[in-house]
Amino acid sequence: MARETPAITARYCPQCAGTLMPRLLREGEPPRLCCVQCGFVLYLNPKAVSAAVFSHDSGIVLVRRAIEPAKGHWALPGGFVDLGETAAAAAIRETMEETGLQIGLTGILDVYSSGTNEVLLIVYAADVLGGAERLGAECSEIGRFAPELLPWDEVGFETTRAALRDYVRRFFPRVRVPRFA
Ligand SMILES: [Zn+2]
């Protein structure tokens, strides 16, 4: 299953390589990592991941992950937003890399985060504009699922399950989603 503990941390200052120590800078906020040498404060924030949810050949497209975390589980096409890239562009780029499909975004579905996971997931609804299905290096399979036959138990991340639930409710309102989802 997905790693559920935030894994982002650091021991050394990115400015001067001094030692970072947690210090309470402001009441009510978590301790911040402060450099004992130069005073630099390293703020730890969730990492933005963009993903797309869309139907193609009458099925919702999921990719089976070939890498950790959640190796072997289903996920939405998506990945980390690069610095200098918009979240929307990242969703389009990652979908092309992982599925070979050219998509156009039709709107934001929602933003998902759990507080126990380092990822902030931004999910766009999309349509397929072109391209040809081609499996990317980080996936072992491309799957298409009817909305009533989604593999809820094999979805790798809680946030992805929540996004799929919202997508089905919005675009296939007559399909019942499981209670756990
Ligand atoms: Zn420093």
Distance CA(36)–CA(158), nearest Å, equals 38
39 CA distance to ligand 1 middle (Å): 6
**Positive or negative: CA dihedral 158, 166, 143, 176:** positive
Angstrom CA distances, 15 to 20, 43, 82, 152, stand at: 11, 13, 21, 44
List the shell of residues around ion ligand 1, using CB closer than 5 Å: 13, 15-16, 18, 35, 37-38, 40
Query: pTM of the prediction?
Result: 0.87
> Which parts of the chain register pLDDT below 50?
1-5
pLDDT at 7: 56
12 CA distance to ligand 1 middle (Å): 8
44 CA distance to ligand 1 middle (Å): 16
pLDDT at 1: 36
Residues assigned a catalytic role:
141
Look at residue 98 and give its three-state secondary structure.
helix
Structural domains in the chain plus CATH codes: 8-44 (2.20.70), 47-171 (3.90.79.10)
Angstrom CA distances, 142 to 69, 78, 93, 127, stand at: 17, 13, 16, 16
Amino acid 176 reads: R
29 CA distance to ligand 1 middle (Å): 21
Tens digit of each residue's pLDDT (9 = 90 or more) over 35-56: 999 999 999 999 999 999 999 9
34 CA distance to ligand 1 middle (Å): 8
Instruction: Give yes or no for a contact between 63 and 70, defined as CB atoms under 8 angstroms apart.
Output: no
pLDDT at 55: 94
Structural element, H or E, at residue 171 = helix 158-171
pLDDT at 2: 41
